[in-house]
Amino acid sequence: MTIHPEREIANLAGADVVDELEVAAMLETHGITDADAVSGYGEPDVFALATRLMRDRPAGPPAPVPEAAPWTPEPARHALRGLLYVLPALGYVAVAGLVAGRAAILLLAGSLGVAWAAGQALAYLGHVRLGRPDPDGARELLRGGTAFAVPLLILLIVGSALVFAVPPGAVMVASGQVVYLLAATVPLVLGAERLLALALAPATVAVPAGLIAGGDAVRSAPVLGAVCLSLLATVAVAVHVTRGAPVTVPGRAELTAALPYAAYGLCAAGLVLFVPVSRAGSAPAAAMAALIPLSLSMGLAEWLLVRLRIAGHRRLRSATTLAGFARHTRLAVTLTVAGYTVALAAGCRLAALTAERITGVTPGAASFVALGAALFLSLMLLAYGYRWPVIGACATAVGAELALLAGAADPETIQLGVTGLLAAGLFLAALTLLGRAHR
Amino acid sequence: MRLALLTEGTYPYAHGGVSVWCDQLIRALPRHHFDVYAICATGREESRWEVPDWATVHRVPLWPGTPPRRSPARPRPDVAGAYHDLLSSLVTPDGDAGFDRALRHLATAGDGTRLPDGDRPIGWLLDAWRHRPAGGPPMSVCDAMRIAEILERWLLPLLWPGPPADLAHATANGLAALPALAAKWRHGTPMLVSEHGVYLRERYLCLAADCYPWPVRATLLRFQRLLCTTVYRTADLVVAGNRYNRRWERHLGVPEDRLRTIYNGVDPDEFPAVTADPAVPALVWTGRFDPVKDLETLIRAFALVHERMPEARLRIVGGARDGDPVYRQRCADLAGELGAAGAVEFTGRVPAVREVYAHASVAVQSSVSEGFPYALIEAMMSGVPVVCTGVGGVPEAVGGAGIVVPPRDPDALAAGCLRLLADAGLRHRLGGAGRARALRLFTTERAVGAYDEVYRELTAGRPA
């Protein structure tokens, strides 16, 4: 039978074999039999030959090879996304005249809440399919999901408007808001941020121009027209990036899976809208200046979360004790939260100073910083798969705020206290849960 | 008799030798009831076999889409202790006794036993690895997580509550034998293990080095090794599909008196004797495209045959679905490079293999590793003379009724083929001898009968 040179079979017992039986298995697939072991190598059988090769091999098992993380941080993209979260605010400036009275404001807030919920659910399902990876499926889902949710939500708005006698102007604004939020979700999930930015260009140019012109210019027909154009362009972008995909409604299982994200979207909307809605009519718009840095900071939040996950991925592969892993993770979580909070606080301060210079009113910022920190921590825990505890905490916070409001306390104070407590609780939860290796 | 027949990744969800054999066994023994415990991946696999009325298939999915529902209760301290010992035994040298004891404790801990999860097993693995004397690269938290996750799944069949059976028959060592171990330890159910290949040997070859970091691979293979040796020590009888495999079983501790060989068989009516020679000299190869079949050597050998005998043809029979399509393309390219493309035909999967043998002068096998291939005994049963490499159980299957050559040696393989193609007398003599040998030793009836006898022996003296 074939006798292999000693050097060649010695190579079979490479550095990465785990024991002598693995060497024996490899010898056999190279056609070496017990007879060969006796005649060629002076060993009684293949097992004895394998044991000798294992003993004589020059090197031990190899050092681990670093693995690349499945995510990459893209600062420019996240900055653009932050901007895209802010720009729609311009639209509200143009349409503010159409929304007057308590019922109209509540309708607007309510429709924003449900649109946010639907958007979160759609985005989650889209990302799940993208991650499989099933990009065609993601496009199909986003197209079908949007086509399914938009008419449903508009029907809901019109129905509520009829019941509560809301004027048609506010109904149109609420509907436009729903259309925008859901349509914009599509390019935001599919990574077409630039197209969305392009769609928002008309409003981005027209509204500031109207503001600069002063007076009622910002509510004039041309500016309003530009805002409508941006809305239509956003719908066109959503249709364009999902072109060719069939319109199918998400199945029951997927809808159930998305439920937590819808619930989270609703809670987050409740927390964000609490101060603006409770202050509606009683405070100047400048008091809401901090909403701009808060929206912008969501881009920063996404970028920080990607970085945190990459660092965690690396740490899982370098730490050799659970205690060491937990220590490093807690430090990373603390630094990330601190970094975000400091950046948001600086942004809010800047917004407050600007608002003061323009309007002479100094808006408070602390409650928005506490809110931002709570939202950031909830997104962090969601990203790591902790859903219901986060939703439970956020829902409790919304409930507490509404209850305290009935006690006639000042909305900013309530917001600061409740979201501050929420942020502290979520921070402790993040330190504990993210320090675990196993999820 | 009520039999628990345990499979992993084969019957009834896959084609292949072991599935063919399971189907033969069940169909031939309608007087028994078979509970087939099929260990599978997701539990959504499609059945590829029609299961007769006297068999019931129970799926044992290791990776169902939704994670197994956890009972709220914490695992009992003794279960946690046993699992800790089991994990430590994988990392410490001479962990055999500890592994055996821990596995047995887990199997007999009672219904609804739940293994500890979360960070505890991960920490145990990391601690044990840090204190191992053998050194080696460090185990990372991620490595330990992967190991813990896989082992939790692999141990599911051990904790599976099986229905009462008179005999547990594992169709392979490894995970398929876990329910048999559990039944043996819980109820004293007799335990039979059949091995067509050598499960552990295949694990070493399949758990490829590039899939896992070294500490993960070393620990998982250690688990399989300790499991296989525990099974060999505990089984009432181990049946090898050929004498060659017995070397591994003996080496890993199966005593000679608990080791038997039962050869696979085929139905003589399905493979009638071929009488006439084909119009042109035709070599055939049947099987699935896999590098262990070493089709490169076959094609190189055929190129040599083709030079001497330009009218000779080679038919390669096997579906691209039944193996590695990249490898198939490489083989086709090689035939082209050697200038034999026109004489080599890739037929794909054919509905009736008997038709292939009816038009064959010689059947060729070129594998570097084999158990006891059906393709070979089918050719012998058809009376087609064989030339094959002397690996695994092949020499004992051929037993002089064919030509056996060394593996990875195109010259020797070509010489064997040319000898047969040139000599009609030798061809007919060896073909006839092959058929006679197959009729005597390798019939379904004989194989199934031997198993039925083993079932009776192992259950004798037990209350029905």
- What pLDDT, in 10s, does the model give residues B137-165? 899 999 999 999 999 999 999 998 877 89
Contact A438, B152 (CB under 8 A): no
- Please give the biggest Cα pair distance in chain B: 75
Whole-number Å distance between alpha carbons of A174 and A107: 7
Q: Which residue has the higher pLDDT, B463 or B107?
A: B107
Q: Sheet harboring B403-405: ordered strands across?
A: B344-348, B313-317, B282-286, B362-365, B386-389, B403-405
User: Would the CB atoms of A316 and B148 count as touching at under 8 Å?
Assistant: no
Residues 6+ away with beta carbon under 8 Å from B322: B15, B288, B289, B349
- DSSP result, A373-419: HHHHHHHHHHHTT--HHHHHHHHHHHHHHHHHHHTT--HHHHHHHHH
Q: Which pLDDT belongs to residue B351? A: 81
Q: How confident is the model at residue A183 (pLDDT cuts 50, 70, 90)?
A: very high
User: Which of A25, A315, A436 minimises the CB distance to B119?
Assistant: A436
User: Which of B136, B139, B251 minimises the CB distance to A60?
Assistant: B136
User: Would the CB atoms of B141 and A437 count as touching at under 8 Å?
Assistant: yes
Q: How confident is the model at residue A6 (pLDDT cuts 50, 70, 90)?
A: low
Q: Which pLDDT belongs to residue A113? A: 92
Sequence letter at residue A169: G
User: Which of A47, A322, A436 minimises the CB distance to B126?
Assistant: A322
Q: Which of A52-56, B15-19, B164-168, B182-186 has the lowest mean pLDDT?
A: B15-19
Nearest CA-CA partner of B383 in B439, B435, B428, B440: B435
Whole-number Å distance between alpha carbons of B373 and B367: 10
A311: closest CA of chain B, how far (Å) = 13
Please name the helix (run of DSSP H) or strand (run of DSSP E) that holds residue B38, with its range, or none. strand B33-40
Contact B224, B174 (CB under 8 A): yes
Chain B nearest-CA residue for A323: B123
Q: Over 90: is that where the pLDDT of B287 sits?
A: no
Whole-number Å distance between alpha carbons of B191 and A258: 47
Q: Which pLDDT belongs to residue B99? A: 96
Q: Which pLDDT belongs to residue A94? A: 82
Q: How confident is the model at residue A89 (pLDDT cuts 50, 70, 90)?
A: confident
Bridge-based pairing state of the strands B344-348 and B313-317: parallel
Q: Which pLDDT belongs to residue B369? A: 79
Q: Please state, in angstroms and as integers, the Cα–Cα distance from residue A263 to each residue in A153, A391, B337, B453, following that order.
A: 16, 7, 64, 64
Mean pLDDT computed over B237-256: 92
Contact B403, B430 (CB under 8 A): yes
Q: Which pLDDT belongs to residue B176? A: 96
Mean pLDDT computed over B197-219: 85
Token pair of B451 as six digits: 């198993």
Chain B nearest-CA residue for A3: B406
Residue A375 φ then ψ, to 5°: -65, -40
A307: closest CA of chain B, how far (Å) = 18
B96: closest CA of chain A, how far (Å) = 15
Q: Please state, in angstroms and as integers, the Cα–Cα distance from residue A86 to each residue in A95, A278, A290, A335, B212, following that order.
A: 16, 21, 11, 26, 45
3-state helix, strand, coil in chain A (%, to 5): 80, 0, 20
Residue in the structure block whose two tokens are 């055999």: B96
B127: closest CA of chain A, how far (Å) = 8
Q: Which pLDDT belongs to residue B321? A: 53
Q: Over 70: is that where the pLDDT of B260 sits?
A: yes
Strand locations in A190-253, DSSP E? none
> Sign of the C-alpha dihedral, residues B266, B271, B275, B280?
negative
Q: Which residue has the higher pLDDT, A364 or A314?
A: A314
Give the tens place of pLDDT for each residue, B350-400. 888 888 898 999 999 999 878 888 999 999 999 999 999 988 899 999 999
Token pair of B201 as six digits: 């040997």
In angstroms and rounded to an integer, the radius of gyration of the C-alpha atoms of chain B is: 24
Whole-number Å distance between alpha carbons of A92 and A111: 14
Whole-number Å distance between alpha carbons of B365 and B375: 9
To probe the interface with A, which of B92, B96, B119 has the most A CB atoms within 10 Å?
B119
Residue B278 is classified by DSSP as P
Q: Which pLDDT belongs to residue A98? A: 79
Mean pLDDT estimate for chain B? 90
Q: Percentage of chain B surpassing pLDDT 90? A: 67
Q: How confident is the model at residue A1 (pLDDT cuts 50, 70, 90)?
A: very low
User: Would the CB atoms of A436 and B117 count as touching at under 8 Å?
Assistant: no
Contact B182, B153 (CB under 8 A): no
Q: Percentage of chain B surpassing pLDDT 70? A: 95
Token pair of B68 as six digits: 């197994």
Q: Which of A23-32, A274-283, B38-47 has the lowest mean pLDDT?
A: A274-283
Q: Over 50: is that where the pLDDT of B170 sits?
A: yes
Q: Which residues of B touch A320 (CB under 8 A)?
A: 126, 129-130, 138-141
User: Would the CB atoms of A25 and B209 count as touching at under 8 Å?
Assistant: no
User: Would the CB atoms of A47 and B221 count as touching at under 8 Å?
Assistant: no
Q: How confident is the model at residue A285 (pLDDT cuts 50, 70, 90)?
A: low
Q: Which pLDDT belongs to residue B461? A: 73
- Backbone dihedral region for residue B323 (phi beyond 0: left; psi -120 to 50: alpha; all else: beta): left
